[in-house]
C-alpha cells in the first residue's frame, strides 16, 4: 500500500500533484521559513498529507477520512498551482530563452492540466447521463417523490419535531439530500457513534419499519414515545408499507405519494 501511495496520489491529484512538486522543489527552504504565508501553507499541507496517508476511518465501509482530510491540502495545492501556472505557462519569456529542463517541466504541466480538464468534463457528462441510465426511470421518480415528502416536512412541520426513516436502509440518499429535521438514528449516525450503541438503536427503531401485518398503532406509538419520535417517514420498500391501507383508516397520513408516506406517532399524533 505504501509503495502504491504515490501512484494513487498522482492519479487523484494529477496536475496539482505535479504543481506541488514543482513549487516545493523550486522554492528556497530559507525563503519558506522566513515567509509566514509559505510556512503556514507548508504546515497545513503537511498535516493533510500525514493524516490522509497514515490514518483511515473505522466502523464505516469507506475511508472518508482518507479523502476529506485532503481538502485543506488540495486548497494549498490550488494556491501553489496558480504560482506554477504563472511561471511556466503564462510567462511571456520566449521559448528560445528557456532551459531544456524548464521546457520539459512546462510540457509535463500542460499535459496534466489538459488531462485534469478533460476528466472533469467527463465527470459532468457522466453525472447527468450515466446515473439516470444506471438507476432506471423508477429510481429517479422515487427520488423525486422523496424530495416532495421532505419538502412537506420542511414547510409544514416545526423544526423541533424529531422524524425517523428506516435506519436499516444503507446510504439513504434522500434523507441526506433533503432532510432538515433531527432523526434518532440513521446510517450517517455511524460516524463517531460506538458500534454497539448504533446497532442497538437500529434494532429498536428499525422494527417500526420491518413489522408486517400490523393491525393498529399501539406498538408504533409506544416505540415512538420511548425515543421521542414525532413523525415516521415510510417508503414503499419498507415491509410496514403493506399495512398502511389498513392503518390509514385509523390515522390519516400527513402526506403520501406513490413512494413515500408520513405519519404522526407517539405524543405528536
The residues near 189 (Cβ < 8 Å, ≥ 6 apart) are 167, 183, 198, 201
pTM (2 decimals)? Answer: 0.67
The torsion of the CA quartet 54, 24, 84, 1, rounded to 10 degrees, works out to -30
Q: What would the grid cell of residue 92 be?
A: 511571456
**DSSP SS3 for 234:** strand
Predicted confidence (pLDDT) per residue in 60-99, tens digit: 567 888 878 999 999 999 999 999 888 887 777 676 667 7
Output the CA torsion sign for 20, 21, 24, 26. negative
CB 109 within 8 A of CB 83: no
Predicted confidence (pLDDT) per residue in 131-187, tens digit: 778 878 888 899 999 999 999 999 999 999 999 999 988 778 899 899 999 999 887
Neighbouring C-beta atoms of residue 180, cutoff 10 Å = 12
Query: Which percentage of the chain shows pLDDT scores above 90?
Result: 49
Amino acid at each position: 500500500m505504501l509503495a502504491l501511495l504515490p501512484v494513487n496520489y498522482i492519479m487523484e491529484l494529477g496536475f496539482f500533484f505535479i504543481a506541488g512538486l514543482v513549487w516545493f522543489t523550486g522554492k528556497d527552504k530559507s525563503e519558506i521559513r522566513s515567509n509566514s504565508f509559505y510556512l503556514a501553507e507548508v504546515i497545513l499541507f503537511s498535516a493533510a498529507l500525514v493524516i490522509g496517508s497514515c490514518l483511515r476511518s473505522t466502523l464505516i465501509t469507506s475511508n472518508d477520512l482518507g479523502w476529506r482530510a485532503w481538502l485543506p491540502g488540495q486548497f494549498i495545492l490550488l494556491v501553489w498551482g496558480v504560482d506554477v501556472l504563472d511561471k511556466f505557462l503564462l510567462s511571456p519569456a520566449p521559448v528560445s530563452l528557456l532551459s531544456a529542463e524548464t521546457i520539459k517541466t512546462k510540457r509535463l504541466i500542460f499535459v496534466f492540466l489538459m488531462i485534469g480538464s478533460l476528466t472533469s468534463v467527463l465527470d459532468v457528462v457522466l453525472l447527468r447521463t450515466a446515473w439516470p441510465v444506471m438507476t432506471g426511470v423508477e429510481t429517479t421518480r422515487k427520488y423525486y417523490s422523496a424530495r416532495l415528502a421532505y419538502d412537506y416536512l420542511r414547510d409544514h412541520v416545526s423544526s423541533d419535531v424529531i422524524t425517523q426513516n428506516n435506519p436499516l436502509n444503507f446510504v439513504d440518499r434522500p434523507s441526506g439530500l433533503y432532510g432538515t429535521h433531527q432523526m434518532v438514528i440513521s446510517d450517517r449516525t455511524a460516524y463517531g457513534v460506538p458500534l454497539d450503541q448504533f446497532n442497538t438503536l437500529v434494532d429498536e427503531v428499525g422494527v417500526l419499519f420491518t413489522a408486517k401485518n400490523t393491525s393498529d398503532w399501539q406498538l408504533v406509538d409506544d416505540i415512538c414515545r420511548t425515543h421521542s419520535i414525532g413523525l415516521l417517514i415510510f417508503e414503499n420498500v419498507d415491509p410496514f408499507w403493506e399495512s398502511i391501507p389498513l392503518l390509514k383508516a385509523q390515522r390519516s397520513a400527513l402526506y403520501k405519494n406513490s413512494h413515500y408516506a408520513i405519519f404522526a406517532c407517539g405524543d405528536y399524533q
